[in-house]
Amino acid sequence: MLKGIAQHHGGGCMMIVKTGEKGVEFIGSGFLCHSKGYIITCAHTINLTDKLAVIPPQPLNEFNQLTLERVNFFDVTVAQFDPESDVALLKLTHPQPVSVPPNLIGDESSVQVGASVGYLGFPFGQAGLHTLKVSQSIISSKVKSTNGTKQFQLDAMVHEGNSGGPLIDIASGQIIGIISGRFSPTGSGGHIKIGNHALGTESTISYATSINYARALMESEGLNV
């Protein structure tokens, strides 16, 4: 079943990068959600002053380089942005013909605790790991964040770079969430760091924002979901 998820959704997953004088800098993951060239990601990956672009994944079923030596990126603009719910909708500046599976976007109401899920993304893309990672987990709980945003709790350790990737219900094959964060037993501040890695923030409890917030952005953009 996970193989089907990977084959079905792998091609639509993107690396989100910012571009500028310093070159291309990885900031997170995202996924195609509409044939008009729209991509969903997390709002927290984005600084609105940055020039953003996306990099498509390497061929899914081939042996790929860990680190891309050359990148072909496609410029995007921020079309909708909801930092409160931590969702953003990006649009390809020059949309290419893209194919998006029908009924791609699911609904939070159908998700039950204990359901098997898969999630895709580019963990440690900032450290030069540019290969798509397919992972699996279960919905371990349905929770609300401190500001009331509905989230799915996962029995998994999501890594830095995974944010913005799709959470997929294995039974239906639909995207039900957007990977957003990980529980940190030590909170979010005052860590000892090695390089850019904060110690004491690891746990096997992670979170994905409900896809319904992304639906709202797509509807606000006038897209049929």
Catalog residues that contact another protein under the rule CB under 8 A.
Answer: 25-28, 42-52, 75-86, 91, 93, 123, 125-126, 145-147, 158-164, 179-185, 187-188, 196, 198, 201, 206-207, 213, 216-217, 219-220
Helix H, strand E, coil C: the string for 97-136 is CCCCCCCCECCHHHCCCCCEEEEEECCCHHHCCCCCEEEE
Q: How far is the CB of 136 from another protein (least distance, A)?
A: 17
Query: Is the CB of 129 or the CB of 172 nearer to another protein?
Result: 129
Q: CB 170: neighbour CB atoms within 10 A?
A: 17
- Cβ proximity to another protein, 27 vs 32, nearer residue: 27
The smaller minimum CB distance to another protein, of residues 7 and 84, is found at 84
Least distance CB 205 / another protein (angstroms)? 9
Q: What is the CB neighbour count within 10 angstroms for residue 75?
A: 14
Shortest separation between residue 219's beta carbon and another protein, angstroms = 8
As a whole number of Å, the end-to-end CA separation of the chain is 24
- From the list 85, 140, 104, 73, the residue with the least C-alpha distance to 9 is 104
- The answer for 21, left when phi > 0, alpha when psi is -120 to 50, beta otherwise, is alpha
23/102 with CB nearer another protein:
23
Minimum distance between the CB of residue 160 and another protein, rounded to whole angstroms? Answer: 5
Min CB(81)–another protein separation in Å: 5
Closest to another protein by CB, 102 or 148: 148
Residue in this structure with the two tokens 């350790």, named with its chain if needed: 157
Please answer whether residues 117 and 169 qualify as being in contact, where contact means their C-beta atoms are separated by less than 8 angstroms. yes
